[in-house]
Amino acid sequence: AQQPGTPLTDKEYYQFFMLLQIARRANTACLLRELYGCVDPLVWRLDEYENHGAIPEGPICTALPEAPFFPDFCTFAFYRCTNKRLFIKV
């Protein structure tokens, strides 16, 4: 363990900034979703990418106790964004 107040190692800096970049990208995707909705071509492509090329149709079931069911992937993705639970999966 490092002494409190000492700088991160090179490896620790890499991991720290990699996490920030991932969160920033997720926040950007959420902002696009909020501004343009799911029918926007860029948001549509992001959803396809997240789902290996095909956006799930129909209801989405999750393991979230507070929200176990969503009518579609768009609603689920919007829930994720608005509740800052960016990395939960269906």
pLDDT tens digits, one per residue of 41-51: 999 999 999 88
Helices 73-82, 41-50: axis angle to 10 degrees equals 90
pTM above 0.85, yes or no: no
Query: What is the band of 18 on the pLDDT scale with cuts at 50, 70, 90?
Result: confident
Find where tokens 């609603």 sit. Answer: 75
Question: Which of 2-6, 25-29, 77-81 is least confident?
Answer: 2-6
Token match 């069911």: residue?
69
* pLDDT at 35 (0 to 100): 95
